[in-house]
Amino acid sequence: MIIDTHVHVWALDATHQPAPDARIRPPSGPCPVEWLVADMEAFGIDHCVLIQSSAFGWDNTYMVECLERYPGLFKAIGLVDPLGASNADDLRSWMTRGLSGFRLHPLYYPDDQCWVDAPAHDALWNAAAETGAILQFHLWPRHAVPLARMIARHPNVRVIVDHLGKPDVTEAPPYPSFQPVLDLARFPLVWVKIGDYQIASKQAFPWRDTIPFVAALREAFGPDRMIWGTGYAGTARLVPLEQALRYVREELPCLSRSDVERILDATPRALFGFD
């Protein structure tokens, strides 16, 4: 089985519009789930985890529609407003509609607004613990320090660190700025995602300057807490799906064949509850 744990899809029509206060630019066209279904059929991908696009803010309706349209094929990660007073209740509400968790973006906010370990966020984490929601973090390595404090306060919440932990690939060993991400491995319910390799890298495919950081993550977390994702669907892809698959299957000498099988199959299947 192959499970892609990070694909953005969205509709762009009268009922699905970008959020006016979104922190990324609105898309110029749709990226419908049908494009992803076609990709999956073409490349033998069995399941995907849909990730709500930040351009559409806290309205996760399209994620729910995709889950209902293709039962069993997808799981979905939505968004809640990290600064919203009702975010804990919002989390509970969306979880009743079939979502698996929520993505939070500390790197979209100035450091003086760092809310990652704010006491006000305990309610959100308590709601995640109650509902089984996964909390997924798109962060800079420095945000892993307050994240560690929050995980220590809420050790029963499952956490995913996105996009390799956003390493600085120009940094020399032993990668001191990346160490806070590696230190999160001491918490047993933290997973790390191999993704956004083309953005982390300063090189062309196969992005060999990312390999030492994948190796460090493998050493710290092991393949039972590593997952893989691609980004977008169809013609919106930033990286051809063939390259994304080849990267994780063939271009990472730090991963054994058994490691790759677990990263693409057993680990995400268990984490997200795919049959």
Please give the average per-residue pLDDT across 238-266, as a whole number. Answer: 98
Question: What's the confidence (pLDDT) of residue 23?
Answer: 87
Model confidence at 64: pLDDT above 90:
yes
Q: Rounded to whole angstroms, how far apart are CA atoms 263 and 248?
A: 9
Q: Rounded to whole angstroms, how far apart are CA atoms 220 and 207?
A: 21
Please give the average per-residue pLDDT across 90-115, as a whole number. Answer: 95
Burial class of 181 by CB neighbour count within 10 A (0 to 12, 13 to 18, 19+): buried
> Over the chain, what is the mean pLDDT?
97
Tell me, rounded to whole angstroms, the distance of Cα 220 from its chain centroid. 19
Question: What's the confidence (pLDDT) of residue 37?
Answer: 98
DSSP state of 99: -
What's the token pair of residue 108?
Answer: 């979209």
User: What would you report as the CA-atom Rg of the chain, rounded to the nearest whole angstrom?
Assistant: 18
Question: What's the confidence (pLDDT) of residue 275?
Answer: 85
Question: What's the confidence (pLDDT) of residue 144?
Answer: 98
Model confidence at 255: pLDDT above 90:
yes
> What CATH number has the domain spanning 3-272?
3.20.20.140
Domain extent listing, the chain? 3-272
What's the token pair of residue 172?
Answer: 């020399």
pTM passes above 0.95: yes
DSSP helix/strand/coil, 176: helix
Sorted by sequence, the CB contacts under 8 Å of residue 65 that are 6+ apart come out as 11
